[in-house]
Amino acid sequence: MVEDARKSSTPEVEGTAGYISPYPYLEKLQPRMDERLDRQVPRGGTYCAFCFGRLKKEATTCGFCDADISETGTTTEIPQEVLRAYLAKKKTEERWVHAGAFFGLTIASVLFILLIGWAPGFLGHPGVALAVLIGGGYVLAQLFGSIIGAQIGYRRGSRKRDALWERYLEAREGTGA
């Protein structure tokens, strides 16, 4: 009985970092678009006209959004508005990760100064303070950057990308394309 109460009181985290995109194909496409944004793949190609996922020559359905190619058609280039949506997610994530890591390094630096200036005895030894600066800086940068900042950045970046994609879809449908 107590075990059942514990299970029902702790909410299950759904999705990645607690966020579920209303457009799951965008999440599958994000690494591909990052490659395109980083100029690791050629600009031209054959893309799904709905989600702009790269298609194989013999494809009849899109591997990302499952759209029937005979209905949606193909295109040879990804529109700039679509690339900007993916770039917005990437930049938001990067900002949160870098800011979190910098925050962790700042805390380690403050601890270093406090240990050097005011710590008594063994804690005030420069070797201990240097170990706190290097080891603590690494651990705190990982904690605040790669763990906490990455989750916050992922959620915010995904929301931003999804909102930009929604605006793009509304504009595309409004023009009759």
Give the tens place of pLDDT for each residue, 69-89: 999 999 999 999 999 999 999
pLDDT confidence tier of residue 140, bands split at 50, 70 and 90? very high
Question: Which residue type does 64 have?
Answer: F
Give the tens place of pLDDT for each residue, 18-48: 899 999 999 999 999 999 999 999 888 999 9
Give me the residue label for tokens 């980083």.
38
Question: Which residue type does 106 have?
Answer: T
Q: Where are the alpha helices (DSSP H) in the chain?
A: 2-9, 24-37, 69-72, 80-118, 126-131, 137-141, 150-174
Asked whether residue 4 carries a pLDDT value surpassing 60, the answer given is: no
